[in-house]
Structure 1
Amino acid sequence: MGATYTAYNLRIIAVLTLGSLTFGYAYSVISNTLGQPSFSAYFGLAGDDAYANAISGAVNGLFAAGGVFGAIHTGWMCESKGRKLTMNTAAAISIIGGAVQTGSVHIAMFLVGRFVNGWGIGMMVTLIPIYQAEISPPNARGLLVGQHGTWIVTGYAIAGWVGVGAYYSPNDALQWRLPISFSCLWPLMLIALSPWVPESPRWLLTRGRRDDAWRIIAKLHGAADDEGMNYAREEFYQMSQQVQVDEAAWAQGGNRQLFTRRSYLERMWMGFFVQYASQTTGAMVIYLYAVQLYQNLGETGSIPLILGATYVTVAAISNLVGALIMDKLGRIKLLIIGLSGCMISLSLVTAMVAEFAGTTNQAGNAMGVFFTFCFITFYGGGEIYPTHFRSQGMAWSIVGTFLSTLAYVEAAPTALANIEWRYYIIFVGLTLINIIVLWWWCPETKGLSLEEINGKFGDEVVVHFADASEKERAHLEATVGRGEELEDIGHG
């Protein structure tokens, strides 16, 4: 497949990663917030461990619950109103949630803000990879869509270091309000830059807006030369033909087919499983309660905050490396390597916590810290749905993320206080099972266009790139103008 990404692709991806950053920062900022003594003092959490554990679980649980509703909301709105309007709506809701948390005067207000914020980022984390996938060429889609994960974790890192800096402020309120207020910055920037982001050409095709879709496709592939123009024509032809067939199939049963048609049902559960499996490594439990974990391992003062920030900085680097090698190594191999590394690293973390937590053994505690960094290195290391239900399918997958996160992080404070390191054993065992299922069940999608992935699940692929020849030229001339006009668009 000849053509690859262009500067225009990269500019769009750069803007969309502000949505990824919105999710990552909002998700992560609470880790250091819960570790700020001023936060605990302001909301009356100090001195009552049982109450503090219940509130910590509620703070993270309500955020995840909001994410479930946000993902479901996106599944409808993304298809009905388009990708761009959904993105701006998600950004606006995220801003409202961040503002309510920043200005909270009692814990109930903070919890409401956390739920609203979760709703917004639930929408965002569902939408952004869909958007990125639909404007990325097949042979660079792993790299470009991989930026979603990289910038999520970059958001984690920024939140961590902002929290470290705020810790040294003499103003108690600033220590926790300032980091949370930054969660409004990234969605504000996304809204400001959204005029430079085009609508998804695949969504435009589902709405019969062929001319608009073609102009965007031509520009996405830099169709100013023969190679770019030919590639743009081939992809547009494949997309438009596949949309017609998919819509005809969809008309036979609508949403009901998501749970009655075998190929669709398999994709729904596969997407759900992959998201669930990533959370079942225990990554969110470790990170959201990392400050407390490092405190249990003997670290004091600002050191736990610094270690937490460094932890997610390593994750950001690992995610970038994963994005760079994904198109060559493949999705399934990379997932299995990552899950296996997480399982082994978490086993070692569990052993160190069981043996040395609460003791003065510096070497043992240091090894516990080290193995958490091994874990996130491996952890750092939604394209299986057809166009007509990609938004619903991705929403269902993200629901898997938030439901598993809700269960794990809501229970974590109480579980870690009562059964301690044994809580981590659950994640080790489940991850082993997930590795086996992933290897046996999930197909590789490396190098395939979004339309050609249909064939992996037994559905019809109307046009393969290898089959496209002069017929896509005739098709375009009949539907979006004469050949000369196509050349003008390609150069425009």
Structure 2
Amino acid sequence: MGRSFTLYNLRIILVLTLGSFTFGYGFSVISNTLGQPGFISYFNFENNPAHAQAITGTINGLFCAGAIFGSLTVGWMCESRGRKETMYLASIVNIVGEALEAGSINIAMFLVARFIAGWGIGMMVVLIPIYQAEISPPSSRGFLVGQHGTWIVLGYAIAGWVGVGTFYSTNLSFQWRFPIALACVPPLALIVCSPWIPESPRWLLTRNRKEEAWAIVSKLHGDDTEERRNFARGEFHQMAQQVQADASAWAQGGNRQLFNKPSYRKRMWMGFFIQYAAQSTGAQVIYVYIVSLYQNLGLTGGVPLILGAAYVTVATLSNFGGALLLDRVGRKPLLIAGLSGCMISVCLESAMIARYAGTSNNAGLGMGVFFSFCFITFYGGGIDVVGYVYCSEIFPTHIRCQGVAWSLVGTFISTLVYVEAAPTALASIKWGYYIIFVALTAINIVIFYFWCPETKGLSLEEINGKFGDEVIVHFTDATEKQMQGIKTNDEEKYGAMIHEERITSTPSQV
């Protein structure tokens, strides 16, 4: 069927996942850094535990604050300057931030660098799923955009194993500086590979650049069969008509409509809620402090670091498994299963910490480790992979950048609050802090079940209908005869632009 993805789709997705990897590695590398003896010694944390707790919270808090600003930057620039220029800027900011972080000579410089690095990864994590969604066909969008989450946690895993390796280095400076410096490589690789990435055809249509948009759409779908050519015509026709209708509606109210038009307002808060709910499972608190959690369970030396790396390796595999399931079972069943599994896992993990932390009961401590791995399996396969896909597809083209940016603000605000409070909370109420996440997740499951619609298998334009907006053209379930009609109508309307014998996708166009 013309709706399946092509090798060209896949190639673009895989290059864009360098941006996903940039976020994952850059976000994750600090988890092991905080446990590296060289880092602790360089900043003299071992002699002042109270100061160390405060600085640790600030290190993570500033990173999340920078990510919030980065998200908002994308919300403006991605629409104003296009997806590709925004990708260049995000890559450069990431390189600068990580380079400064790796070269920090005092804690003040390190904190400033953390804010800049956070700004860069905030841009990247918003941009990449938007870009991926806009070049993916409807029936495989879940799998293709799901690679964003998979490569994020692959970045987590690589950061974890690099941290394990440098832990055994006798050079204390190399021990923590090298893993951070390595974070410059993925965004640099993205810049190098970017000439092979086309601009989003949907964004080009918003700028009335129809010939360029059609050249990209036709290449995305391939032209090896008449069926694929018909589907490309149908999707392009739908894109063009919907963009025109949306532009007319947007001109009547502008940015005010984001929160005063009911259908847009619902989507803005829904996207924010999805990302808030993901973090309210306690995912980032558990991950950022995973080494400390394993140390509390009586593990010492390099074992906590090894288990932390294994933890995110499992997350990578579960994300990929979730991506394979997403277009089959749908977004809602997978996310509800993920939230429920995480809630139960955190509850049992808390029980093991409460009962066995500080004891020599190996069975109880082992179960604590086991339930942490249960948590990340459910989170990776049911929440992480769904959240980015869902938030990238529920917004119409003309507000997708602002909508996804606002959604990811929900991630970083939630993470900022939970992670900033974690050092103090874990020191004072210990395992009781995790019970907060159990209660929040129970509430969020109910809200999601009754409030959020299913989007599986629909084109980005047809999802508008789920929120009460007009869908100008329906073609997902069109018959071949109707597709042929679309072909005829489009050729009359666009003339040479649609007639494939008159269109050639040259490198300059694509």
- Report the alpha carbon displacement of residue 363 of structure 1 after superposing the two structures with TM: 1.3
From 452, 465, 470, the counterpart of 1:460? 470
2:400 is matched with which residue? 390
Cα deviations by residue, 1:235-284 (Å, 9 ceiling, x for unpaired)? 00000000000000000000000011000000000000000000000010
Pairwise CA distance, 1:357:
1.0
Question: Structure 1: how far apart are the matches of 2:299 and 2:498?
Answer: 68
Tell me, yes or no, if the aligned pair for 1:201 and 1:213 is still in contact at 8 Å: yes
Name the SS of the counterpart of 1:223 in structure 2. coil
Q: Which amino acid aligns with 1:479?
A: Y
Deviations 1:188-210, CA, capped at 9 Å, x for gaps: 00000000000000000000000
Superposed, which structure 2 residues align to 1:113-132 within 5 Å?
A: 113-132=113-132
Q: What are the residue-to-residue correspondences of 1:98-113 with 2, within 5 Å?
A: 98-113=98-113
Aligned residue in 1 for 2:38 = 38
* Corresponding residue to 1:423 among 404, 426, 433: 433
For residues 8-407 of structure 1, what are the structure 2 equivalents within 5 Å? Answer: 8-381=8-381, 382-407=392-417
Shift of the alpha carbon at 1:468?
5.0
Is residue 43–residue 106 contact of structure 2 (8 Å, CA) maintained in 1?
A: yes
Instruction: Please report how far the alpha carbon of residue 360 of structure 1 lies from its aligned counterpart in structure 2 after TM superposition.
Output: 1.7
Residue 410 of structure 1 is matched in structure 2 by: 420
Could you give the per-residue CA deviations for residues 362-389 of structure 1, whole angstroms, max 9, x where no partner exists? Answer: 1111110110000000000121000010
Partner residue, 1:479: 494
Amino acid at match of 1:399: V
Measured against aligned partners, the alpha-carbon deviations of 1:83-107 in whole angstroms (never above 9, x if no partner) come to 0000110010000000000000001
Corresponding residue SS for 2:456: coil
Using a 3 Å threshold, how does the CA distance of structure 1 residues 486 and 447 change in structure 2: closer, same or farther?
farther
Equivalent-residue separation in structure 1 for 2:464 and 2:484 (angstroms): 21
User: Is 2:499 aligned against 1:489?
Assistant: no
Say if 1:464 and 1:484 are closer, same or farther in 2 by CA, change over 3 A: closer
Deviating runs (4+, > 4 A) in structure 1?
A: 482-488
Deviations, residues 443-471 of structure 1 (Å, cap 9, x unaligned): 00000000000000000000000265424
Displacement of 1:485 after TM fit?
A: 4.3
Q: CA deviation at 1:225?
A: 2.2
Distance 1:477 1:181, change over 3 A: farther
Distance 1:45 1:449, change over 3 A: same
In the alignment, the residues of structure 2 paired with residue 376 and residue 311 of structure 1 have an alpha-carbon distance, to the nearest angstrom, of 7
3-state secondary structure, aligned to 2:301: coil
Could you tell me whether the CA contact under 8 Å between 1:223 and 1:490 is conserved in 2?
A: no
Listed as ranges, the gaps of 5+ residues in structure 1 are none
> Gaps spanning 5+ residues in structure 2: where?
382-391
1:474 Cα deviation (Å)?
3.0
Q: Which moved more, 1:355-364 or 1:336-345?
A: 355-364
Residue aligning to 2:460: 450
Given that residues 259 and 265 in structure 1 are in contact (C-alpha distance below 8 angstroms), is that contact kept between their aligned partners in structure 2?
Answer: yes
For the Cα contact (< 8 Å) 1:218–1:489, is it kept in 2? Answer: no
Which residue pairs with 2:389 in the alignment? Answer: none
Would you say the 8 A contact 1:31–1:291 is kept in 2? yes
Answer whether contact 1:38 1:173 (CA < 8 A) is retained: yes
Contact 1:277 1:431 in 2 (8 A): yes
Matching residue's letter, 2:449: W
- How far apart are the structure 2 equivalents of 1:420 and 1:26? 27
User: In 1, are the aligned partners of 2:230 and 2:484 still within 8 Å (CA)?
Assistant: no
What is the rounded CA distance, in whole Å, between the counterparts of 1:40 and 1:264 in structure 2?
47
Classify 1:29/1:483 alpha carbon distance in 2 versus 1 (closer, same or farther; 3 Å): closer
Distance verdict in 2 for CA 1:443–1:344, change over 3 Å: same
- What root-mean-square deviation, in Å, do the aligned CA atoms of Structure 1 and Structure 2 show? 1.3
Offset of residue 472 of structure 1: 4.4
- In structure 1, what is the Cα distance between the partners aligned to 2:506 and 2:198? 17
The answer to whether the Cα contact below 8 Å between 1:210 and 1:480 also exists between their aligned partners in 2 is no
SS at match of 1:489: coil
Distance 1:473 1:41 in 2: 72
Decide whether the 8 Å contact of 2:490 with 2:498 is kept in 1: no
Q: 2:448 aligns with which of 430, 438, 444?
A: 438
The AA in structure 1 aligned to 2:31 is S
Contact 2:53/2:423 (<8 A) preserved: yes
Distance (Å, rounded) in 2 between the aligned partners of 1:196 and 1:155: 23
Q: Is the 8 A contact 1:229 1:490 kept in 2?
A: no
Segment of structure 1 superposing worse, 50-59 or 476-485: 476-485
- Partner Cα separation in structure 1 for residue 54 and residue 359 of structure 2: 26
TM-superposition CA deviations, 1:330-372 (whole Å, max 9, x none)? 0011000000000000000000011111222211111101100
Contact map agreement 1:222 1:490 (CA 8 A) in 2: no
Give the Cα–Cα distance (whole angstroms) in 2 for the partners of residues 487 and 137 of structure 1.
24
How many residues of Structure 1 are paired with residues of Structure 2 in the alignment? 492
Aligned partners of 1:214 and 1:480 also within 8 Å: no
* Alignment-mate amino acid for residue 416 of structure 1: L
CA distance in 1, matches of 2:351, 2:127: 39
Matched letter for residue 489 of structure 1:
T
Q: CA deviation at 1:60?
A: 0.6
The CA distance in 1 between the partners of 2:217 and 2:242, in whole Å, is: 15
One-letter amino acid matched to 2:35: G
Over the matched positions of the two proteins, sequence identity in percent amounts to 65
Quote how far apart the aligned CAs of 1:478 are: 3.2
Bigger mean CA deviation after superposition, 417-426 or 458-467: 458-467
Cα distance in 2 for partners of 1:316, 1:482 equals 42
TM-score, with structure 1 as normaliser: 0.98
For the structure 1 residues 369 and 252, does the alpha-carbon distance in structure 2 shift closer, same or farther, using more than 3 Å as the test?
same
Q: CA deviation at 1:487?
A: 6.2
Task: Name the aligned partner's letter for residue 78 of structure 1.
Answer: C
